[in-house]
Amino acid sequence: MMRRRRSFDAVVRAAERALNAARVDHVFVGGIAVIAFGRTRTTEDVDVLAAWNAKDVRVLQGEMRRRGFRVSESDLLAALVAGEHCTIDDTRSEYRIDLSSVATDSARHALRHRVIVRSRGVELPVARPEHTIVMKLVFGSDQDLEDALAIYMKQKERLDLALMVGFAARQGVREALATLRRTAEGLEARPTGR
């Protein structure tokens, strides 16, 4: 009998359980944050920033493998040393986890200012909408800009503007944030009827 493939939500839950079991502090970023705060969209990967170190590698690898993920100790160590991400394949689906260390100011910001989002019975630490908007502006692809606008428009009344503007200034995208805000205002000012 063929094993049923895991859904995206199931992959996220499995990753959350593995990281918690390994006692690795972490925050979900990227597509998950967009889905939580902006709009529903597709994604093939689960982006996670995590504060793991060399002594955590063996336990983290074991917890990931126990939950159906394929990852090697050497990949985890290499990503840690290089300050890059490690791709962890899910053996039960087409999804993957992109696990990055918190080696940068922006990653530390995401971890420090995360919020807890409850999704299908699981509490997930997710990057705040303010952080996600700014990082989407940093990356700057068409998809990123659409995501940033969707989050801004949906969360506008709840955003911590001082936090967001300060973070945007440190990331060099303060003017891009101002442009995004003007775009949102223009869209809201448009008549809705014909």
- For residue 155, the 8-state DSSP code is H
For 153-194, the pLDDT digits (tens) are: 999 999 999 999 999 999 999 999 999 999 999 988 777 655
**pLDDT recorded at residue 3:** 58
CA distance 93 to 9: 11
pLDDT band at 1; cut points 50, 70, 90: very low
For residue 25, which amino acid is it?
D
pTM score, two decimals? 0.92
Domain boundaries, the chain: 1-127, 129-188
CATH number for region 1-127? 3.30.460.40
CA distance 58 to 63: 9
